[in-house]
Each structure stands twice: as structure tokens, then as C-alpha cells.
Amino acid sequence: CADGSEPPASALTSAVGPIPGLAVLWGAMPPPASDGAPMCFSYPVLPSSVDPSFIKVTFNTGETESPPDISIAPNDEFNERSCLVFFMDMGNRVVPDGTNDCSSKAGRPTDCAYYPVQMEITGDLMLVGPGNK
């Protein structure tokens, strides 16, 4: 705090320690070649309410998927503690050019561009707002 006092515990709900390599992870370990994406909120996330199944990613192919895992790390700075990071295969490196969209193909094609078009919260993820509400 600016006045040197300790912040209330409710302000540290999604805090992680500054120990390198320490991570809090819900779900399975991320696949070795997975992509990471942050999802940030206006208030800190209540860690006990985090569940990977609460996130739904929709791809340009129309398929939907929940990430196999989600974490509050590596967000260890105070201004990042309202962010979750989830890990999954979120596309390939084919650049969409208007003629190579995968929207008519299923699965994870390699000959056309596939990528997320929407990410949404589908469960009861809880945030800690002013007055612990």
C-alpha cells in the first residue's frame, strides 16, 4: 500500500509467491507445444473458483474446446493478479488471407488457417471486488 501498511488478505486472493518456477495449475500439465493466452478481469480472481471447464474457446472451424489447464502463473506482479493464463493448441501458423480459412474443415488442419474467434466464461468463476464482494 502507498502508506506502507499491509494490504488486506482479500486483495491478495490470486497472489503467487515470487519463487521462480513455482506455479499454481488447475487441470492437466500443459502439452509441450501448447499456446498460452491471458484472460484478464477487472478484479482479482478467487482461486478456489477456477476450473478449466469454465472457459470455452470457439475456433473458426466452429469447434469449441475448453483448455486442459489454467493457471494464475506466471502473473506474479501485483498489477497482473486479476489474470488467468490458459494453455492449449490455439491455432497454426498459416496466415489467413481470405482464401485459406478452415471454416469448412473439422479438426486441426495444417493446410489452412485455424484460430480462435471467441473466448468465453461458461461457469461460476468468482472475482473479489470492493468490500470482498
Q: What is the pLDDT of residues 65-102, one digit of tens each?
A: 998 888 877 766 766 778 888 888 888 777 777 777 67
User: Can you spell out the DSSP letters for the chain?
Assistant: -TTSPPPPGGGGTT---S-TT---EEESPPPTT-EEEEEE-SS-B-GGG--GGGEEEEETTS-EE--SEEESTT--SGGGTTEEEEEE----SPPP-SS-B-TT--S--SSSB--EEEEEE-S---B--GGG-
Most confident residue range from 8-12, 18-22, 27-31: 27-31
Average pLDDT over residues 47-76: 85
